[in-house]
Copies of this chain bind each other. A is one copy, B any other.
Amino acid sequence: MISDKISNSIKNSSMIRAMFEEGAKLKKIYGDDKVYDFSLGNPDPEPPAEVKAALRELANSEELKMHSYMNNAGYPEVREALAEKINSETGLKLGSDNVVMTVGAGGALNVVLKTLLNPGEEVIVFAPYFVEYNSYIDNHGGRLKVIDTDYKTFLPDTELLTKSITSNTKAVLINTPNNPTGVVYSKKILTEIANVLEKKSKEYGHTIYIISDEPYRKLAYDVEVPNILTIYRNAIMIDCFSKSLSLPGERMGYIAANPEADDIASLMGGLIYCNRILGFVNAPALFQKVVAKAINSSVDINIYKERRDLLYNSLINFGYECVKPDGAFYLFPKALLADDVEFKNRALKHNLLIVPGSGFGRPGYFRLAYCCSLETIKASLPAFKALAEEFK
């Protein structure tokens, strides 16, 4: 009785549900600490002390109207604080009117896509990629075009990008640090992408946007995450506090654009309008103020770095092939079987919960989310070793 498309999508997503159920079953049999769950990207560190203090301060204050509607774009002072932070890091000149507060990065992506897309316009995405992009683009009548990254580096292939752009291309959606690979795009590669789009925008006589989804931008270990707004004038930056402040359940994110972008007033007007008509209305009130008060804080990224180092080094030692990730909290090693779904099943026999790469548009690989304690990782290592030995 519900929509045919939704009904079919649910049937197709039942594989993932089945996986979780299998995991739950294993945990019941063997105990939580004997099942090594690398399937979920749910940040486990607590929010920084500054966040907890800001929340307490606001909750205990006598300030009135703290939970009222505000402008659909969010509180002006919060947007101003974010604009100033970006400016201080980049030398750009964003104003509060170049920032829109959103219901997380997922909300932000839907707002941006709704604002930009005419029916049938294409959005290019580099595989492997976060599979929700399929739905987000389809929600607003767009067409997803997936192109492969380089097999050795998981970095975009700009020649392939150049060939893939058509008159129908509206945007290129990038995600750095990347889910699922953990790869961070350098200034060099971003500049190459920007150059391609600059040229193609001219050739086709319309703006081709970069939509840069950066929920993991604070989680970079050995490298810097360049600010896309300094590299491409028509970039739209999406950031959130789910990972950097460990607040995923509170749904707080934002969109920022360069004041020099084409027709910036209508872009920002569109974003604010779409934030409203998609039913978000505004980002949750109280947590806008919380993140503004804790704007310079971050979770301790060494927690994640230590896990990455242990897990990455161990896997390499056991004979897995894996691009060393510079950020996010994922590893994306090569599966030891061409059939990554079957490989996931084999891993399950060792009480290892992993996600097949085909769930990210790149079969033959698997994703590990290290949102679990160092102890769990340590305890899991013999299982990874035994799994590798099966295929020697």
Shortest 5 CB-CB distances between A and B: which pairs?
A249-B285, A59-B59, A106-B279, A135-B277, A110-B279
Q: How many residues on A have C-beta within 8 angstroms of the other chain's C-beta atoms?
A: 73
Seed contacts A43-B68, A67-B250; 9 additional CB < 8 Å A-B pairs: A1-B116, A7-B266, A42-B68, A107-B281, A108-B279, A114-B139, A251-B284, A279-B280, A286-B287
CB of A49 closer than 8 Å to a CB of B: no
- In the assembled complex, the Cα of A67 lies from the Cα of B249 at a distance in Å of 5
CB of A246 closer than 8 Å to a CB of B: yes
- In the assembled complex, the Cα of A47 lies from the Cα of B108 at a distance in Å of 28
Q: How far is the CB of A33 from chain B (nearest CB, A)?
A: 17
- Number of chain copies forming the complex: 2
Once the chains bind, are A103 and B136 in contact (CB under 8 Å)? no
- In the assembled complex, the Cα of A68 lies from the Cα of B276 at a distance in Å of 25
- In the assembled complex, the Cα of A14 lies from the Cα of B337 at a distance in Å of 58
Once the chains bind, are B42 and A69 in contact (CB under 8 Å)? yes
In the complex, which residues of chain B have a beta carbon less than 8 angstroms from the beta carbon of A283?
251
Once the chains bind, are A7 and B279 in contact (CB under 8 Å)? no
A1-B267, A118-B5 known; A280+B60 contact, CB < 8 A: no
Once the chains bind, are A107 and B250 in contact (CB under 8 Å)? no
Once the chains bind, are B277 and A136 in contact (CB under 8 Å)? yes
In the complex, which residues of chain B have a beta carbon less than 8 angstroms from the beta carbon of A116?
1-3
Once the chains bind, are A270 and B7 in contact (CB under 8 Å)? yes
A13-B273, A116-B3 known; A279+B67 contact, CB < 8 A: no
CB of A168 closer than 8 Å to a CB of B: no
In the complex, which residues of chain B have a beta carbon less than 8 angstroms from the beta carbon of A207?
1
Q: How far is the CB of A179 from chain B (nearest CB, A)?
A: 14
In the complex, which residues of chain B have a beta carbon less than 8 angstroms from the beta carbon of A285?
249-250
CB of A169 closer than 8 Å to a CB of B: no
A interface with B by C-beta (< 8 Å): 1-7, 9-10, 13, 42-44, 46-47, 52, 55-56, 58-60, 64-70, 103-104, 106-111, 114-118, 132, 135-136, 139, 206-207, 246-251, 262-263, 266-267, 269-270, 273-274, 276-287
Once the chains bind, are A2 and B266 in contact (CB under 8 Å)? yes
Q: How far is the CB of A3 from chain B (nearest CB, A)?
A: 5
- In the assembled complex, the Cα of A1 lies from the Cα of B111 at a distance in Å of 15
A142 to chain B: closest residue by CB: B3
A59-B59, A278-B139 known; A250+B286 contact, CB < 8 A: yes
A66 to chain B: closest residue by CB: B249
Q: How far is the CB of A166 from chain B (nearest CB, A)?
A: 17
Q: How far is the CB of A172 from chain B (nearest CB, A)?
A: 15
In the complex, which residues of chain B have a beta carbon less than 8 angstroms from the beta carbon of A206?
1
